[in-house]
A and B are shown apart, each in its own frame.
Chain A
Amino acid sequence: MFFKKTVPFIFTLSVGIFSFFYYFMPHAFMQDLWDKASQWAIIIGGGAMFVGVISMVRAYYKRATNKSDPNRYFAMLTIVCFIAMTVIGLITGIKPGSLFNDIFVGIMIPCEATMFSLLAFYIASAAFRSFRLKSFSAGLLLFSAIILMLAQIPTGENISPAIPWLKGWILDYPNVAAQRAILIGIAIGSVATALKIILGIDKSIYAGVGGK
């Protein structure tokens, strides 16, 4: 338990106290320490990526070799793509003009853009569900949405110049007030959560201690 509980606690406490004072102390001594710690984080991140890739390959390999799984072909495709990209990247490099970069720009980025563009349809379906007039709150939401949508198009101003003004008012006052209230709560919640973790009161994030 010493390495699973005490050592992480000592590290968390010392790094937590340092990070707190770093925010208020601009001295070069603190800055240099922070820069060094950031470099360590990059190195740890690189190592963790290796662990992550092993985990991904292991999970997909088991799925690909599970003959009772009808979706195993997706897992096979993932592994084939992973190996192909790794080999191509090692042989051709990853600079612009390389085969790796061409595949990335020609296949990966359009696929991601496709996923992103799905948002438009999802927004429409989510809006349809949430704008149904079921209660007073839903009515307020519907009213605000109509005003905002009308103000976005020239028709809104043609109907009444009050519509763009109302849109501005909704966005600048009730919307900002609600967002700031949430933000203040988040800021105070962050302090409390960080304090509980730094002082070891909440140890649930320490690996292998199961919340105690």
Chain B
Amino acid sequence: MKNLLRLMVILVVVSFAFNSYSVNTVEVTGKDSPNDKGEAIDIKWTLDASLKTSAIKVFVFRKVQGEAEYKQIKELDITAENFNDKNELKNNIPYMYYLEFRNVTGEVVYKTNEFGPYVAFPQWINTDKIPTFIFSLIAMIVILIFIQVAKSGRKLYVRPLPGVQAIEDAVGRATEMGKPMIYCPGISVISDIATLASISILSRVSEIVAEFGSRLIVPNYDPIVYSVTDEVVKGAYLKVGRPDAYKADDVYFLTQRQFAYASGVSGLMAREKPAANFFLGWFMAESLILAEAGSMTGAIQIAGTDSISQIPFFIVACDYTLIGEELYAAATLMGEDTRLLGGLKGQDYVKLVAMILLIVLFVLKLFGVPGIDTILVGGN
């Protein structure tokens, strides 16, 4: 009887031991997070199915290699199978980790051995962005080649845009009617390409306005954009030899609140009854408010934006709309600078390259060639 009891105890102990060490197993790996400035380590683990049911939380502990004490750095749900450690990590220092799995009462169900050391270090190149880098380089080279071709004197044809012709006509119309024009450079900041393109167009428009002796009102949303537009308009008057005709009060900062700006410009249009309104730049929800308010005054309206969601509003409410990249091309088409025209032509050829590339990738995808999605949508 005594021997039987001993045997039963041994069997129970062995069965518990078997459950603890062969059923609850965790495989852990770690490495420096790729394509970052360092200060981050990726830890991954795979859980046994039984551990997923017995534990509810994972606790991550870390210490610098050689130090005595571990510190708890993260508490995760049991569903988590990886952790990106950015918790006050320093580069080039080896870190050790271990994981604890706890049940609903907080008891430790399983604890891994310590693992590591892992060292975080910065990368100079983001390898995920290499395809973008290559295509950017190709685009730049093609554009620069066409700029050189244009400089050499070769005639390049670029399809004229009705909206661009309409800008010049609108200035003439406003002059004949003796009414002012309103130019909105959008509600974005100076670093936005749409704002820069708009300022380029403003430069050409204000030259024509200065020549014709009509009036251009430029209410600005951003104070830095205001500083630039003010100087650009002043420069245009200076260039055509009429600095005295420049009115500093017609180019001004209005407000930096979106709907206050819409309200201010709508009020301006209602009071001044302009002959032409230009909405060129980056716009948001105020686009339709501006365009409809302008439409009610009977002014000819020319809009242009690269804000995709606002293009339909401008199309329905304005007489002419420059869609997306047409906004960037407008200033070039208004001027006679051959180098800029060359750049525009180069841009068209880059588009051709992009189209060919997309068609080739599409056909390869149809034939089931692997990896096409990765090329099309990025490195991940």
Show the binding face of A for B, using Cβ within 8 Å.
20, 23-31, 44-45, 48-53, 55-56, 58-59, 62-63, 71, 74, 108, 111-113, 115-116, 118-119, 122-123, 125-127, 129-130, 179, 182-186, 188-197, 201-202, 204-205, 207-212
Contact = CB atoms under 8 A, between A and B. Distances in A.
8 residue pairs, one from A and one from B, having the closest CB atoms: A207-B231, A52-B223, A210-B239, A189-B325, A52-B253, A115-B259, A130-B316, A208-B235
A27 B193 contact: no
A87 to B, nearest CB: 18
Contacts of B56: none
Interface stretch (B43-51, B72-80, B284-292): B284-292
Nearest to B34: A26
B91 interface: yes
Contacts of A208: 231-232, 234-235, 238
A45 B223 contact: yes
B306 interface: yes
A12 to B, nearest CB: 10
B235 A182 contact: no
B27 interface: no
A52 B220 contact: yes
A56 B253 contact: yes
Given A55-B252, A126-B313, A204-B232, A192 B143 contact: yes
B344 interface: yes
Interface of B is mostly: helix
B139 A188 contact: yes
B196 A48 contact: no
Nearest to A205: B199
A53 B253 contact: yes
A202 B337 CA distance: 9
A140 B373 CA distance: 32
Contact of B91 (A25, A28, A48, A51): A28
B159 to A, nearest CB: 13
17 contacts: A26-B36, A28-B39, A48-B227, A51-B223, A59-B249, A112-B258, A122-B292, A123-B288, A126-B292, A127-B316, A186-B308, A188-B354, A189-B193, A190-B306, A195-B143, A207-B231, A211-B235
A192 B344 contact: yes
B259 A201 contact: no
B332 to A, nearest CB: 8
Contacts of B308: 179, 182-183, 186
Interface string B207-248: 100000000000010111011101110111011100000001
B329 A189 contact: yes
A131 to B, nearest CB: 9
A24 B204 contact: no
Nearest to B250: A59
Given A188-B325, A196-B343, A207 B125 contact: no
Nearest to B345: A192
A112 B259 contact: yes
A184 B356 CA distance: 13
Interface in B242-270: 248-249, 251-260, 262-263, 267
Contact of B228 (A111, A112, A188, A207): A207
A127 B331 CA distance: 31
Contacts of A184: 351, 354
Contact of A189 (B223, B328, B340): B328
A31 B37 contact: yes
Contact of A27 (B123, B133, B251): B123
Interface in B123-145: 123-126, 129, 132-133, 136, 139-140, 143-144
A9 to B, nearest CB: 14
Contacts of A186: 306, 308, 324-325
B147 interface: yes
A119 B288 contact: yes
Q: Which of B125, B144, B328 has the most CB of A within 10 A?
A: B328
A44 to B, nearest CB: 7
B271 interface: yes
B346 interface: yes
Contacts of B91: 28
Contacts of B254: 56
B271 A71 contact: yes
A51 B225 CA distance: 11
Contacts of A196: 340, 343
Contacts of A51: 223, 226-227, 253
Contacts of A190: 193, 306, 328
